[in-house]
Amino acid sequence: MVTIGHYLVLSSVLFAIGAGGVLLRRNGIATLLGIELMLNAANVAFVAFAKQHGNLEGQVVVFFVMAVAAAEVAVGLALLVAIFRRLQSIDVDRLSAMRW
């Protein structure tokens, strides 16, 4: 029997992997992947909760989140292309002109 708990464990694991990816990976593409994982972790939780509550609000939000995720990736990739043209690298650590 798959319960709401299983879905929540899956979603929290996905969220942790995504957040870890954003914080630890230096590759710009990997950062984008991490962000996508975080958003989709929320999607899994939304759908599972929508099923549990028996209302559709959560499922509708998933569509919003998917649209936002697509827009976010578009902006992120455009930024990475601009950086790559400039530095010949997508290592986000190379962007360190400003320090306190």
Partner 1 sequence: MNAQVSVLLPELLLAGMGIFILLVGVLGRGSQRLAFFLANFGVLASMVAVVGVGERGTETFFAGMLQLDRFALFFRLLFLASALLVVWLSRPFLQRAQQTAWEYYALILFATLGMCFLASGVHLAGLYVSLELMALSSYILAGYFRGEVKSHEAATKYFVLGALSSGILIYGLSLMYGATGSLSLAEVSQKLAAGPRSVAATAGMFLLLAGMLFKVAAVPFHVWTPDVYEGAPTPMTAFFSVGPKAAAFAMLVRVLWVGLAPAAADWRLLVSWVAAATMVWGNVAALTQDNVKRMLAYSSIAHAGYTLLGVLAGGPLGTQSVLFYMLVYAVTNLGAFGLVVLLAAKEYAGEKVADFRGLAHRQPVAAFAMLLFLLSLGGIPPTAGFMGKLYLFAAAVHAGYAWLAVVGVIMSAVSLYYYFRIVKEMYLASAGEGEGVAVLSEAWGVRALVVCALATLLFGVYPTSALAFLAPAAKIVPW
Residue 86 near partner 1 by CB under 8 A: yes
Tokens standing for 10?
Answer: 């899956």
Q: Does 61 bind partner 1 (CB under 8 A)?
A: yes
| Interaction between residue 59 and partner 1 (CB under 8 A) | no
Q: Does 79 bind partner 1 (CB under 8 A)?
A: yes
Shorter beta-carbon distance to partner 1: residue 1 or 95: 95
Phi, psi of 21 (to 5 degrees): -60, -45
Contact 65, 42 (CB under 8 A): yes
User: Which of 38, 56, 66, 88: binder of partner 1 (CB under 8 A)?
Assistant: 38
Q: How far is the CB of 93 from partner 1 (least distance, A)?
A: 11
CA distances from residue 20 to 52, 56, 58 in whole angstroms, order as listed: 29, 31, 25
Alpha-carbon gap, residue 80 to 88, rounded angstroms: 10
51 is a contact residue toward partner 1 (CB under 8 A) = no
* Residue 29 binds partner 1, judged by CB under 8 A: no
Q: Is 66 in the site for partner 1 (CB under 8 A)?
A: no
| Residue given tokens 């929508």 in the structure block | 50
